[in-house]
Amino acid sequence: MTLKRLSVVLLACLTLSACGGVDPNSPLGQRKAIFKQMLKTGEDLGGMLRGRIPFDGPRFTEGAVKLDALSHEPWKHFPQVREDGKTSAKDDVWQQQARFQDMARTLEAATGELVIASQAQPYKASNLGPAVQKVEDACSACHKQFRDH
């Protein structure tokens, strides 16, 4: 009887996990995963500067480097034509490709500047704060124009 119950529970879990899920290998799934990593990393950096997380200079620098590397990745997972399925990306991503790419480059430049700022010793919030804000502003500007919240 226990095996039968376990089989039913396992089948139910598998069925539920397939409902509404995004294929992690699809362009949408890949870019969502990258954006989630970017969000987590950026939140940790901002948290260190705002006192939510204890500040750790070397860890901050590692996070800045990671965020910079991630900032170059999601754009290659936007296909030339909008894919089928539920996405938070507005049609403008595909209709205004030049503007979308410009904003992607702005984010990449901001994360590169953050890496440079994070390597300056001693660590100072006055050096790091504006660089983090520039990254956050770049993210926000792109979301406002190209993301359907």
Q: What is the pLDDT at residue 57?
A: 95
| Phi (first) and psi of residue 12, to 5 degrees | -60, -45
139 annotated ligand binder: yes
Cβ(109)–Cβ(73) below 8 Å: no
Average pLDDT score over the chain: 88
What CATH class has 27-78+89-146? mainly alpha
- Mean pLDDT, residues 100-116 taken together: 98
- Mean pLDDT, residues 47-57 taken together: 95
142 annotated ligand binder: yes
The region of weakest confidence among 7-16, 17-26, 60-69, 79-88 is 7-16
Helices within the chain (DSSP H only): 2-18, 27-50, 57-71, 92-95, 97-118, 125-146
Domain ranges of the chain: 27-78+89-146
Q: What is the pLDDT at residue 22?
A: 81
Tokens of 1: 């009887």
Q: What is the pLDDT at residue 20?
A: 57
- Residues across the chain: 149
What is the C-alpha radius of gyration for the chain, rounded to an integer number of angstroms?
19
- Mean pLDDT, residues 105-121 taken together: 97
Q: 110: helix, coil or strand?
A: helix
19 annotated ligand binder: no
Q: What is the pLDDT at residue 145?
A: 95
Whether the pLDDT of residue 36 is over 70: the answer is yes
- Mean pLDDT, residues 59-84 taken together: 94
